[in-house]
A and B are shown apart, each in its own frame.
Chain A
Amino acid sequence: MRIVLILLLFLAGCGEVWNDPYPASERGRNILYSAFSERPKHLDPVQSYTTDESQFIRQVLEPPLQYHYLKRPYELVPLTAVEVPKPREIEGGKFTVYEIRIRPGIRFQPHPGFVAANSQLKREVVEKLETPYDLPLGTRELVADDYIYQIKRLAHPRLHSPILGLMSEYIVGLGEFSKKLRKIDRREGWLDLREHALEGVERVDRYTYRVKLHGRYPQFAYWLAMPFFTPIPWEAEKFFQQPGMAEKNFTLDWWPVGTGPYVLAQNNPNARMVLDRNPNWRGEAYPSEGEPEDMAAGLLADAGKIMPFIDRVVFSREKESVPYWNKFLQGYYDNAGIGSDQFDQAVRVSIEGAAEPSPEMIGKGIRLSTLVSATIYYFGFNMKDPVVGGNSERARKLRQAISIAVDMEEYLSIFANNRGVVAHSPVPPGIFGRREGAEGINPVTHVWRDGREARRPLEDAKKLLAEAGYPGGRDPKSGAPLLLYFDTTSRGPGDKSRLDWWRKQLAKLSIQLEVRETDWNRFQEKIRKGTQQMYGLGWAADYPDAENFLFLLHGPQARADGAGANSSNYLNPKFDALFEKMKNMPNSPERQRAIDAMVGMVRHDAPWIFGFHPKEYSLRHSWLANAKPNDMAGNTTKYLRLDVPRREALRREWNRPVVWPAVLLALALALSAVPAVLTYRRRERMAARAAG
């Protein structure tokens, strides 16, 4: 009892609310609280390639271009560049040159690498450091050489850039540069890339550089909005190469250096990552244009005001969804995604299919945003497989029949709370080349009826199956039911219903489906060797262009023949020829026609069951303003604004400690000891009893 009272007094000392997970010193401050679940693997812009990582580095690093925050479809606008560079073809189109001019006067964040005295630190000094920022800090102006240095780093022999292979095909001399660096690198110390020239990247003047590409590659502009092309000062790389730094986890991979609105001030990927406002940031005006509905949504209220509006961002690691969700409801996270376990509590879906926050969420003033992601989850057939693959009529009709029978609308309803839209082609909504409405449906699997899409009846699938030579789902030669195999990495107890559903879909055609559950590595191995029959995969866009999805079916990129992304090993020379033409075209009616033709081919050949494009649901509290989902721009924190007094008031209201049940419980426990005490005392006073 006494212990409980002491405990309660101790907690009472924590202030008005006892369950606040943040230090008292942070109360009332302009801090955004968010969460992350996966440890970031890389924060070096040369290597980082996941969304989990980009939420940190994209606030720190600035490529020359960015996506407009509010406009849709996505539009590239300058970030550090003066303007979006226009490609210039030279030598009759043999090469394309991008000349990028950056704004003068931009300064790097404060960093010890810019102080000359910090470039020769003794190991003992390094060992005593808590963070690199314990040392004296300096800065300097951003120049074109910093961008050139980073492009060279793509080929750094000790770094693994996922886009080195791709960029070596385009940036003149990058492949050779990579080989050269591998030869000269001594595997220790700092490799000064300034000493080695890269043919395709040229410094024009202090603020201008040129990138020379083989042929045409209009998508290069999108890459210029990604962290791979952010500036890296050579001083920072040199600083982190000093002895003792790696042992303290002080590397460029963990302490990014940039010119962005925030600085990574605390780096503890196990618990907490903190971004602080960069005191050297030049400022940027909040956009004054957007979509028509943005004005009504209050998204233009801050038009023209200088960003960022938030001083600090604290990301806490939450590995489990239950505490994450409950802390959001308590107001300790300002925004949150919605897990499938919380969906029914958070969202109410009307009969028409419109999603809105549940009454509980509305009561708390929580707002819901949805966004159909530029992602596709598809279910592929291996075109090298003797049964479902190949270009024969028999195999094609079999694939088409299965594509009709697999009811993706039902899948989304059962397994995804309708969080997705059925895909009719590889191209997701919001991307040039995508057709909507009656024009957009896949005529192989759907029809347009009464102003909406409807899946073809099962009879159509059965007819196709019979035409394919499997009447009633049986092989007429052997009389045995057709047996197909589906490779998947879903093998937990929670996946059983999903796999049963798959069996049921094919059973509608009397086809037996054997699910081969395997781990990710074995699954990848099968795909590489081309030994799978049916499988499921997904792809999230690097940039908003149809090329970034249609390349997944490009013949020369067949996975079984090399290391491409075409896991179905689809090979259609007409498709490939059109792809080569389409990828270099600017968005135009001609390009639309090319995309239409390609989409028509893959619908007809059906190497994929097109699956679905996931719909992302996110929630935010009433005190968080200017939040608009943006699938492409990662540098969105600078646009957000907080109403801190409102947050403080609501947190207090929602988190008043309820002490009486704890006191009651303690009393009950104390009372339960009474019979024991009484019995003990009675026994102690009892006189010896006679035997028998």
Chain B
Amino acid sequence: MLAYIFRRVLYAIPILIGVNLITFALFFIVNTPDDMARMHLGVKRVTPEAIEKWKQERGYDRPLFFATQQDGLSKITQTIFFEKSVKLFAFDFGPAEDRRDIGEEIRARMGPSLALAIPVFLVGLAVNITFALLMAFFRATYLDFWGVVLCVAMMSISTLFYIIGGQYVAAKLWNLVPISGYDGGLDAGRFVILPVLIGVVSGIGSGSRWYRTIFLEEMGRDYVRTARAKGLAESVVLFRHVLKNAMIPILTGAVVVIPLLFMGSLLTESFFGIPGLGSYTIDAIQAQDFAVVRSMVFIGSVLYIVGLLLTDLSYTVVDPRIRFD
């Protein structure tokens, strides 16, 4: 197992270098360092000297990938790519273009993102599985039919509609919760109730349909017939046998997103004024803050790789036949 994990970590290094390279190339195809300087210095009274100074200070006056003027290894090391990328592997993100420390920002914003994302994930998973099992239990009945119709209808509605509609009804019309905002500690609860509810409800349609398909496939298998033939109650068949055997596809979809919960939700955080990592990324893209974009993409890649690894490892837990040795 350890050898497997070690091997996977080694595989991750070229992937991360590749992701870094692509992020870097894409960002600098769209923006030149001059563009970034202008964006940060504003539009009024920006002189060429100020732009040069800005670039010098942040190391953007160097060549992108290859420094022809330098000798030896410096041809590689004295470039923007090397300077900006290598430190990422030590999780040293440095300052954003507005000079605020990125590591400090990420630490501060991780909490609000998780306060929203974890309940949405856990409650959503529980609700979707339960709803899907019910539909599978009542398969080929009017309950299953209307359940699927409801799922399709819910899938067809934009997340934005759920958010604005939810805010209008729960916070504006019924005055039950604050429309937006965030506070630390236990007070965070009353701010995340509504976005969590909306996150769960908006995910029911697609989630439940997906799990229903998995369960129906499992229910056609021989072991289910055997269990029924033994006289087991249908609820026992579903929850003890079908659910257990459906765990592999469920885990494939669910575990991989667990690390990505750190990255936050772009839309929900913006509308509910939650100062998480999702809104941090959006702000950085809008402000052409390469330092933050590059850091967030890097963290996203690392977390995704961790997610895939965790998914593989989780298979061994639910299916004893799987071994990595």
Interface residues of A (CB under 8 A from B): 7, 10-11, 14, 17-23, 39, 41-42, 49-50, 157-158, 160, 162-166, 246-249, 251, 253-254, 268, 270-271, 316-320, 322-323, 326-327, 329-330, 519-521, 524, 542, 563, 565, 655-659, 661-662, 675-676, 679-680, 683-684
Asked whether A563 lies within 8 Å of B99 as measured between CB atoms, the reply is: no
Q: Is B39 an interface residue (CB 8 A)?
A: yes
B320 to chain A, nearest CB (A): 31
Q: Mark B125-166, 1 if CB is under 8 A from A, else 0.
A: 000000000100110010100000000000000000000100
Q: 13 A-B Cβ contacts within 8 A?
A: A19-B176, A21-B178, A22-B181, A162-B44, A165-B47, A247-B101, A326-B167, A330-B175, A521-B32, A656-B175, A680-B235, A683-B234, A684-B235
Number of A-B contacts defined by CB within 8 Å: 162
Which residues of the other chain, B, contact A661 by a CB distance below 8 angstroms?
174
Given the known A-B contacts A247-B104, A683-B234, are A657 and B176 also in contact in the complex, defined by CB atoms under 8 Å?
yes
Which residues of the other chain, B, contact A249 by a CB distance below 8 angstroms?
100-101, 104-105
Q: Is B95 an interface residue (CB 8 A)?
A: yes
A247 and B287 CA atoms in complex are apart in Å by 21
Apart from the given pairs A164-B50, A270-B108, 4 other A-B contacts in the complex at a CB distance below 8 Å: A10-B190, A39-B287, A160-B41, A247-B101
Asked whether B46 lies within 8 Å of A162 as measured between CB atoms, the reply is: yes
A163 and B44 CA atoms in complex are apart in Å by 9
Which residues of the other chain, A, contact B101 by a CB distance below 8 angstroms?
246-249
Count B interface residues, CB 8 Å. 68
Q: Which 8 residue pairs of A and B lie closest in terms of their CB atoms, listed nearest first?
A: A270-B275, A21-B181, A21-B178, A521-B35, A323-B180, A271-B275, A658-B174, A165-B47
By beta carbon, the residue of chain B nearest A22 is: B181
The segment from B5-13, B210-218, B242-250, B266-274 found at the interface with A is B266-274
From A39, A268, A675, A676, B283 is in contact (CB under 8 Å) with A39
From A18, A326, A676, B138 is in contact (CB under 8 Å) with A676
B310 to chain A, nearest CB (A): 29
Asked whether A7 lies within 8 Å of B270 as measured between CB atoms, the reply is: no
Name the residue among A270, A519, A658 with the largest chain B CB count within 10 angstroms: A270
A322 and B166 CA atoms in complex are apart in Å by 12
Asked whether B173 lies within 8 Å of A658 as measured between CB atoms, the reply is: yes
By beta carbon, the residue of chain A nearest B40 is: A41
Q: Mark B68-110, 1 if CB is under 8 A from A, else 0.
A: 0000000000000000000000000001001111011100110
Given the known A-B contacts A23-B183, A662-B174, are A318 and B190 also in contact in the complex, defined by CB atoms under 8 Å?
no
From A165, A329, A679, B143 is in contact (CB under 8 Å) with A679
A18 and B173 CA atoms in complex are apart in Å by 12
Which residues of the other chain, B, contact A656 by a CB distance below 8 angstroms?
175
A50 and B45 CA atoms in complex are apart in Å by 12
Which residues of the other chain, B, contact A542 by a CB distance below 8 angstroms?
44
From B53, B134, B173, B279, A160 is in contact (CB under 8 Å) with B53
Given the known A-B contacts A11-B190, A323-B273, are A162 and B50 also in contact in the complex, defined by CB atoms under 8 Å?
yes
Asked whether A326 lies within 8 Å of B172 as measured between CB atoms, the reply is: yes
Asked whether A327 lies within 8 Å of B174 as measured between CB atoms, the reply is: no
Which residues of the other chain, A, contact B164 by a CB distance below 8 angstroms?
322
Asked whether A14 lies within 8 Å of B190 as measured between CB atoms, the reply is: yes
Asked whether B176 lies within 8 Å of A271 as measured between CB atoms, the reply is: no
A67 to chain B, nearest CB (A): 19
A145 to chain B, nearest CB (A): 26
Asked whether B143 lies within 8 Å of A21 as measured between CB atoms, the reply is: no
Which residues of the other chain, B, contact A14 by a CB distance below 8 angstroms?
190
From B39, B173, B177, B182, A271 is in contact (CB under 8 Å) with B182
A162 and B40 CA atoms in complex are apart in Å by 11
